[in-house]
A and B are shown apart, each in its own frame.
Chain A
Amino acid sequence: MAEEFEPRIVAFLCKWCSSAGADLAGVSRMEYPPNIIPIQVMCSGSVSPLYIFSALSHGADGVLVSGCHPGDCHYIKGNYYARRRLALVKKLLEYIGLEPQRFQMSWVSATEGLKFTQIIKDLVRELQPLGPQNKLRRKF
């Protein structure tokens, strides 16, 4: 059987909601593809566009930023800033010619372990046909 391309996804997960949600999925023994490299950040609002560009530059096939639902941010407003800032990043990356599926955002709360697994499964399924990300990847 031919080897399927396994996308490597960098996931920036906010500590208070999304990372907890991911932990819940793990603790509950829910299965999801092992393609993500989770990076815990304090808040989705602390995710700088530089992190996303850097992840892509280092060869990430996809980047996910996940935070608390609007209104539930541990720092009250962080996710609102993230929503605005990362919308611009998404538009810019698409405009440059990067496939839109490669950068995604989600709201995952601490209890949404199942949602988290679904998001990862969908993401891997969407990225598999696209192949490795060679556009922004640093060649050396």
Chain B
Amino acid sequence: MEKIIQKSAFPQWLKSLQAFKIFLPKRANYGWELNLNHEVQEIPEDYTYPVVPPKKLIFPQEEIFFEFEQNPEDGIKLKEILPEAEQQVIFGVRPCDGLAVKAMDLVFGGTYEDPYYWRRRRQTILVGLACSQPPSENCFCLSVEGSPSSEEGLDILLTDLGDRYFVKALTEQGKSLLSAASSLFNEPDPRDREAREKIHLEAEKKIKRHLSSARELPEKIKAIFDSDFWDEESLNCLRCGICTYLCPTCHCFDINDETKSLAPLKGRRVRTWDTCQFPDFTMHSSGHNPRPDRASRLRQRLSHKFLYFILLFDRFQCVGCGRCVTLCPVGIDIIEVLTRASNHGA
């Protein structure tokens, strides 16, 4: 379903969605964030993308699984804690972040669905915003089979046409958001469609960074698995975890039991984010660690994104958002590293 909404009517659309938790891009001192506090009822002109990706709202940093409590009569009781039943709408999701959610859906779905992830996922409506220019200096979505106007993973895709948005509802959930305020939406005319096409095409040309022949990377990475190439590339690495925590597709987690008291036994089980970049991520209880050094961990991260995910799902796990490149404190640039990996031993 394709519609047009005037930007001046945008606040009214938001008002019609009062039943939902609405996340809008908000300016923070460190960049953009998706926030429930809306001082302005619009998506600002200079919005790029949130530093912390939408994954935080679907796969939160802290997920409580269950609480356990022991009492003298009944013994130990478990109380499952499922996520709150509340619908949420996230505005301003860039196409790369939409693709990232799709990638996470693949991981947490399949034969065995993660109930916590899916409860939130099914309650989430993603309203995407096509990129009119790359949100980051380091965007390279085109190289990993994405695009500034990709629709995958999103429920609605908005395109900014200046004083109005072109609204393309992609799923039933997306359509339901429009029906809540149908009087605000008009039919697009051929000029609108033309303007939208133009913006999408122009945006692709503005992307500055490219990773050539990404589909050849899996074989290349496999070939240099044992090479000391990774030692040199990881010299700068601080194993700080920023690349993985801010990556929209990274989803590794840790599960901990938080014991409030031992007698009577009372506590809860909590899932939090974890990262393959922490030295003890692969520490076995025997004391052996198959990835004891930064070289093997860097190799792991790049292999997960550009080799293993391809073998499992035939798509890149990296969506080319460029956050890891921009935020790495010591300048490890995966586009450069992968380019060098490609040419290594050639």
Contacts and interface: CB of A to CB of B under 8 A. Distances in A.
B10 to A, nearest CB: 37
Size range of the interface on A?
Answer: under 10
B209 interface: no
B270 to A, nearest CB: 9
Contacts of B268: 140
Interface string B232-263: 00000000000000000000000000101000
Contacts of B258: 140
A140 B260 CA distance: 7
A140 B62 CA distance: 13
Contacts of B260: 140
Nearest to B260: A140
Contacts of A140: 258, 260, 268
Chain B contact residues, majority secondary structure:
strand
A37 B260 CA distance: 18
A113 B268 CA distance: 43
A137 B260 CA distance: 12
A138 B97 CA distance: 34
A140 B69 CA distance: 13
Nearest to A58: B260
A119 B58 CA distance: 51
Interface string B259-283: 0100000001000000000000000
Interface in B119-167: none
Interface in A114-140: 140
A140 B269 CA distance: 11
Interface string B41-71: 0000000000000000000000000000000
Interface in B218-237: none
B269 to A, nearest CB: 11
B278 to A, nearest CB: 22
A110 B268 CA distance: 43
Nearest to B67: A140
A140 B65 CA distance: 14
Nearest to B270: A140
A140 B258 CA distance: 9
Nearest to B258: A140
A140 B268 CA distance: 9
B52 to A, nearest CB: 22
B62 to A, nearest CB: 11
Interface of B: 258, 260, 268
3 contacts: A140-B258, A140-B260, A140-B268
CB-CB nearest 3 A-B residue pairs: A140-B268, A140-B260, A140-B258
